[in-house]
Amino acid sequence: MSPHPGWVASLLLAVVLLPLLSVAWLALESLNNPTAWWALWTAPQTVSAMALTLWTGLASTTLAWWISGWLLAQGFIRHRLAGMTRVLPAMLATPHAALAIGLLFLVAPSGWVLRAISPWLTGFEFPPPWPTTQDPWGLGLIAALVLKEVPFLLWTAATQLHRDDVRRRWQAEFSLAETLGYAPDRAWWLVVWPQLAPRLWWPLMAVLAYGLTVVDMALVIGPASPPTLAVLAWQWLQDADLAANAQGAAAGGLLALLVLVTGLGWRTLMWASWRPVDGRRGRVPTRLTDDRTGRAGGVWAWRAILLIYGAIVLALAVGSVSGVWPFPAMLPEVWTLQAWITVWSSASTVTDTLLLAIGSTLLSLLWAVAWLELVPRRWDSALRPLLYLPLVLPGVLWVVGLYGLVLWLRWEGQWAGMLLAHTSLVLPYVLLALSPAYLGFDPRYRHLAESLGRSRWDFLWRIKWPLLRHALAASVAVGFAVSVAQFLPTLYVGAGRWNTVTTEAVTLAAGAQRSLTGAYAWLQFVLPVLGFALAAWVGRPRRFTVPST
Amino acid sequence: MTELSSIHRRQALTWMAASASVLSWPLTVFAQSRPWADTLAAARGQTVYFNAWAGSDRTNAYLQWVASEVQTAFGVKLEHVKITDTADVVKRVGSEKNAGRHAREGTVDLVWINGENFAAMKADGLLLAPWAEQLPNFAKVDTVGKPTTRNDFSVPTDGQESPWGMAQFTFFADSQRLPAPPQSMKELLALAKRQPGRITYPRLPDFTGTTFVKQALIDTVADPSVLTKPPVPAELERVTAPLWRFLDELHPHLWRSGRQFPQSPAAIRQMVADGELLLGMTFNPNEAANEIAARRLPASVKSWQFARGTIGNTHFVAIPYNARSPEGAQVVANFLLSARAQARKADITVWGDPTVLDLTRLSPQERAEFPVQALPGQVATPAPTLPEPHATWVDPVEKEWVRRYGR
């Protein structure tokens, strides 16, 4: 039985491409408004907001990329990758907003860090008037983005390194380089990294696009006056004035241009640096080859990241039960469960979050598996850029198009509209997470099954999918986490009728009520983590018991 | 199959309803003057989507109580649609109108509103024809003593919104750190100079931030009477010049040197609680008392208003032209005006939002439901209420503020 690319593939394509292209078309159509572009150009904040966006987006992506490469090197050389990837899901599952809120609880002038060293070290009786939250330079935003994106890059790299077809070869090449006398670090940077890095191109672009266009995180921890361009666009989109809305859409268009230009620029740089130089596979930054500091630093950096994540979760938990909490006390003076009682009394928020996440993830998984299974490889690679459109287009622009489509379908504020909005953003992530393992599946299994006379279904159900159980479960967890973390589409397409833990957390963070913000942010963190834990359990390696004789 | 036919039927029905409402104004007016019993009957079983700002869990909890009351008493299902900015709702109803939505085809049934948002909805024809003053409970509203219940930022309500609660611009601070609170903008400036970096106000267009600037405008303008009328473009610069001079002088001494402003009054309140800021500001005179009761502010916090008075206004509920459940929305609005609901709302431990009713017009039993003695954190000596400048002042002042300080 051979795959029939014809109608099944076309159908699969149509199901996704029709809404995708209409959303994109509606979004782009809103940009055809010269007055709005002129208003954007003359708006007093545009230029400085754009500069801030470029700074925070590029700095965070560069740092995240560099740190990830460095950590991967340490992990690969010291055979610690497995240990690192074990904790990754929890970090990966942490929604951006929860991370930003937690980081805020740590670094604010009245945050834990300063409380810990006051007044014995600093002499402060009151929080200092320091700009450590929403700092005008965007450092807090950069830190939050880096903390969030490093685990994502590590994880996508790990899925590549777990692929059956490459793992053995890279390991062999690495060992060969070592036997030729290269130091392990050098062997990594010369042999493995140049092959791995190009495969991380799309994840990297997702990170870059996210860094340039993020709204929820920037609302919480980013600079406020001026804010980044994405936040400015979001504020304009929410304005009662239709002209301001058009200006917001134009700002979204400008963001798309920024993503495109910086993406192309990055690509050019990458090509230039990976081009073989005097017969070598890549150029090595000399700093990185210093063995001892590199390794010690790697361990230190990894522990620091783990520590910050732990502190964030703890800060959110303590914050959620805090009442009066004067500076510089380490713990609240008054503890109260008020925030959790409030959360409990609006339980529909949690069930809505769960149902939306499960619905959109299952739809995405079904489609992604069908696509990878049935569609010819060359269609797939040709259409990938289009399928990743929602990842690369700025969120603010995407919701404009989504809202247009949903309004046309009369689905605004409806379950169907919400499902469409979430699925359109979950699907690319599920596809991204599933592809490496799915496409890297050893074709010999199939040939073997066919030669034994097994049907295609039989092969899928009994061999391929069970073997890919880990990847399937992991991609479901990713989709679930992505859906839970959605802020813009939930608020915009949901006509405000749908509350998820994320919209609650971000809305409340603007209201800055510590306990309730902490409660929702903590919940926002816990739900996806449970998802990943479940995925890990489902995808755990099978153990064969040897019958005792 | 059945689903398909029901969609057709629904579309036909809505089309008919829509054409009826468009073709005949008198019909709508007639519908409004129907006896209250008819409204109650039509409301039974309806779902009302109440779009209300949800930044405070006390407000949210109060609305949950309202929801359970109207469900049991009138069979109306109230859904609180939690929003961050009412302008968002104005925009959404506007988009729906642009998309050709007719009566009973909208997503909003009731909206918590006042000021420029009401002015915008009224001007754009996004509101239901007059209904509010026909509500049975409207008779008890103190329209004489609280003229802002019929006059929203100098824009007549014309029965298109129903008063819900009163607000007056109020400051609060920990009396242990600030024993002598400033009694005017001039004193506030002096305090900011003495203790730099410890005072701020929310970034415009936040409602409270805008009110702070309007308060400064009233305190600095040469002739306050110009503020009751729409601004004359040619005069705008001259009239507002003292305001910008004052803010230019104040800002360098504010939190983060006035280069950055918090997003909301709640953010300021949290910073007051943490000791990062000296004083907070709110539109609810009882907010500090609430927060003390909720044990989020220390009991030594006190509230006050400027000696010569501060800006006060009324907040309302309005029904969009395309509400799906206008009858249910009116029943909810009427319930919100009942002595029981108003008394509960005025209760510090619930919300602490001052009533719009005239207590002398209530029966003794109804009056007994209202709280009497002052609680920690409440305003000790209430100051006069100054009327809001005309709603049309907000836009130019906000735009100029953003141009000057919003970069």
CB contact under 8 A, A239 and B91: yes
Strand order in the sheet with B170-174: B279-282, B170-174, B301-304
Q: What is the pLDDT of residue A294?
A: 54
What is the DSSP track for A289-322?
A: G-HHHHHHHHHHHHHHHHHHHHHHHHHHHHHHTB
CB contact under 8 A, B267 and A511: yes
CB contact under 8 A, A127 and B276: yes
**How far, in Å, CA of A187 to CA of A73, rounded?**
10
From B270, B403, B406, residue closest to A225, measured CB to CB: B406
Same domain, B183 and B307: yes
CB contact under 8 A, A514 and B270: yes
Angle (CA) A392 A397 A402, round 5°: 100
Same domain, B308 and B320: no
Q: What is the pLDDT of residue B71?
A: 95
Cis amide leading into B205 (omega within 30): yes
Q: Tens digits of per-residue pLDDT, B227-283?
A: 988 899 888 999 999 999 999 999 999 999 998 888 888 889 988 998 899 999 998
Whether B329 is covered by a domain: the verdict is yes
Q: What is the pLDDT of residue A384?
A: 86
From B60, B87, B98, residue closest to A238, measured CB to CB: B87
Whether B4 is covered by a domain: the verdict is no
Q: Tens digits of per-residue pLDDT, B52-69?
A: 988 777 888 899 999 999
Let me know: does A334 contact A323? Beta carbons within 8 Å: yes
Q: Residue B25 above 60 pLDDT?
A: no
Same domain, B157 and B182: no
CB contact under 8 A, B203 and A225: yes
Same domain, B198 and B241: yes
Gap from B363 CA to chain A (nearest CA, Å) = 34
Question: Is the CATH code 1.10.3720.10 the one for domain A45-311?
Answer: yes
What confidence tier does B90 reach under pLDDT thresholds 50, 70, 90?
very high
Whether B65 is covered by a domain: the verdict is yes
What is the DSSP track for B29-89?
A: HHHHTS-HHHHHHHHTT-EEEEEEE-S-HHHHHHHHHHHHHHHHHH--EEEEEEES-HHHH
Tokens of B124: 């754009």
Q: What is the pLDDT of residue A299?
A: 72
Q: What is the pLDDT of residue B356?
A: 92
Whether B9 is covered by a domain: the verdict is no
Tokens of A256: 């798309």
Q: What is the pLDDT of residue B22?
A: 40
Which residues of chain A have a CB within 8 Å of the CB of B376? Answer: none
CATH number, domain at B260?
3.40.190.10
- Beta bridge mates, B314: B166
Cis amide leading into A119 (omega within 30): yes
Whether B8 is covered by a domain: the verdict is no
- Taking every pair of Cα atoms in chain B, the longest distance, rounded to a whole number of angstroms, is 75
b vs e for B299-319, b when ≥16 Cβ sit within 10 Å of the residue's Cβ?
eebbbbbbeebbbbbbbbbbb
Q: What is the length of chain A?
A: 549
Which residues of chain B have a CB within 8 Å of the CB of A223? Answer: 260
| Residue B303 φ/ψ region, left for φ over 0, alpha for ψ in the -120 to 50 degree band, beta for the rest | beta
CA proximity to A491, closest of A422, A541, A543: A422
Q: What is the pLDDT of residue B200?
A: 96
Tokens of B283: 């539109």
CA-to-CA dists, residue A347 to A57, A165, A336, A504, angstroms:
36, 46, 19, 12
Chain A to chain B, count of Cβ pairs less than 8 Å apart? 147
Same domain, B212 and B283: yes
b vs e for A411-428, b when ≥16 Cβ sit within 10 Å of the residue's Cβ?
bbbbeebbbbbbbbbbbb
Q: Tens digits of per-residue pLDDT, B339-379?
A: 999 999 988 888 888 899 998 899 999 988 887 777 888 88
Reduced to 3 states, what is the DSSP secondary structure of residue B239?
helix
Whether B27 is covered by a domain: the verdict is no
From A44, A496, A511, residue closest to B406, measured CB to CB: A44
Closest alpha carbon within chain A to B96: A407
**How far, in Å, CA of A363 to CA of A80, rounded?**
35
Q: What is the length of chain B?
A: 407
Taking a contact as any Cβ pair under 8 Å apart, which residues of chain A between 332 and 371 contact chain B? 334, 336, 338-339, 342, 345-346
Whether B306 is covered by a domain: the verdict is yes
Same domain, B297 and B338: no
CB contact under 8 A, B407 and A226: yes
Domain that holds residue B132: 41-164+315-368
Number of domains in chain B: 2
CB contact under 8 A, A324 and B51: no
Let me know: does B195 contact B165? Beta carbons within 8 Å: no
| End-to-end Cα, chain B, rounded Å | 57
Let me know: does B252 contact B258? Beta carbons within 8 Å: yes
Q: Residue B6 above 50 pLDDT?
A: no
Which helix (H) or strand (E) element contains residue B96? Answer: helix B86-98
- Beta bridge mates, B315: B165
Which residues of chain A have a CB within 8 Å of the CB of B349? Answer: none
Closest alpha carbon within chain B to A329: B274
- Region B391-403: mean pLDDT is 89
Same domain, B346 and B213: no
CB atoms within 10 A of CB A296: 11
Residue B123 exposed, middle or buried by CB count within 10 Å (0-12, 13-18, 19+): exposed
Domain boundaries, chain A: 45-311
What confidence tier does B196 reach under pLDDT thresholds 50, 70, 90?
very high
| One-letter amino acid for residue A85 of the chain | T
Whether B11 is covered by a domain: the verdict is no
Which residues of chain B have a CB within 8 Å of the CB of A240? Answer: 87-88, 90-91, 94, 117, 120
- Beta bridge mates, B282: B170
Same domain, B190 and B117: no
- Taking every pair of Cα atoms in chain A, the longest distance, rounded to a whole number of angstroms, is 83
Distance of alpha carbon A375 from the chain centroid: 27
CA proximity to A210, closest of A396, A3, A14, A399: A396
Tokens of B341: 């609901």
Gap from B265 CA to chain A (nearest CA, Å) = 8
CB contact under 8 A, A336 and B87: no
Angle (CA) B10 B13 B16, round 5°: 150
The single residue listed with the structure tokens 């029965």 is B159
Question: What's the average pLDDT block by block, 10 residues per block, for chain A (549 residues)?
Answer: 65 85 86 88 89 96 92 84 81 87 91 89 85 87 94 87 79 87 85 87 88 91 87 85 86 92 88 57 48 61 90 93 88 88 83 93 94 87 86 85 88 88 92 87 86 87 88 91 89 79 80 81 90 86 64
CA proximity to B48, closest of B256, B357, B333: B333
Q: Tens digits of per-residue pLDDT, B94-128?
A: 989 998 889 999 999 999 999 889 999 999 999 99
Same domain, B158 and B121: yes
Let me know: does B282 contact B305? Beta carbons within 8 Å: no
Distance of alpha carbon A449 from the chain centroid: 37
| End-to-end Cα, chain A, rounded Å | 42
Same domain, B120 and B135: yes
Q: What is the pLDDT of residue B18?
A: 41
